[in-house]
Structures are given as C-alpha cells and as structure tokens.
Amino acid sequence: MKLLEQILSELGADTLKSFSVVPDFGGYFRSIKGVSEYSSVKVVLSLKKNRITVEGENLTLGKYFEEDLLIKGKITGVKID
C-alpha cells in the first residue's frame, strides 16, 4: 500500500479517502464509516463528510475491516458527493 499512497500523494489525492476499481472484479474503498444504501446495482457509502455512490451489476459487499471495504461485482460508475 505504500506505493499506492505515494502515487496518490503525488497526484494530489487524499490518501485517506481513496479507492481502487478493478474491471469486472470490484473495488477497494478506504475510510468508509458505513453503508447507507445497498442493492445489487447500487451501493452508497458514507464517509466522514462525503458519500460515494457505486453503481454496477451483481454488486455484493465483501470484507469490511478497519474502515476498508471490498465491493465485488462489475462496477460501471463511481460518484463522489
């Protein structure tokens, strides 16, 4: 994760509120406080100040540990509110 944090830092991103999406597999989301909406096509994640809306197909929640969440399925869009 050190390499990912270095890349995000150099791009000016907030490494505490970052995510990675792997096509046709799912995504890894950090600093998640909770899940406010969940279905197989839409997951809304709560952060401290913002929300992340994940849209796709066959979405399922994977492991949640220390504010990190794995979402499995085909992610077609991610929106930060």
Q: What is the pLDDT along the chain (81 residues), one digit of tens a residue?
A: 577 667 666 655 555 567 889 888 999 998 899 999 999 999 999 988 889 999 999 999 999 999 899 999 999 999 988
pLDDT at 23: 86
Please state the separation of Cα 30 from the chain's center in Å. 6
User: What is the tally of structural domains in the chain?
Assistant: 1
Q: Is residue 6 part of a domain?
A: no
In a domain, 8, yes or no: no
Show Cβ contacts of residue 31 under 8 Å, excluding neighbours closer than 6 positions. Answer: 16, 17, 18, 47, 48, 67
Whole-prediction pTM value? 0.78
Q: Determine the Cα–Cα distance for residues 35 and 13; give it in Å rounded to an integer.
A: 23
Distance CA 36, CA 32 (A): 11
Domain region containing 40: 16-80
Q: What is the CATH number of the domain that holds 76?
A: 2.60.40.2000
Provide the pLDDT for residue 38. Answer: 98
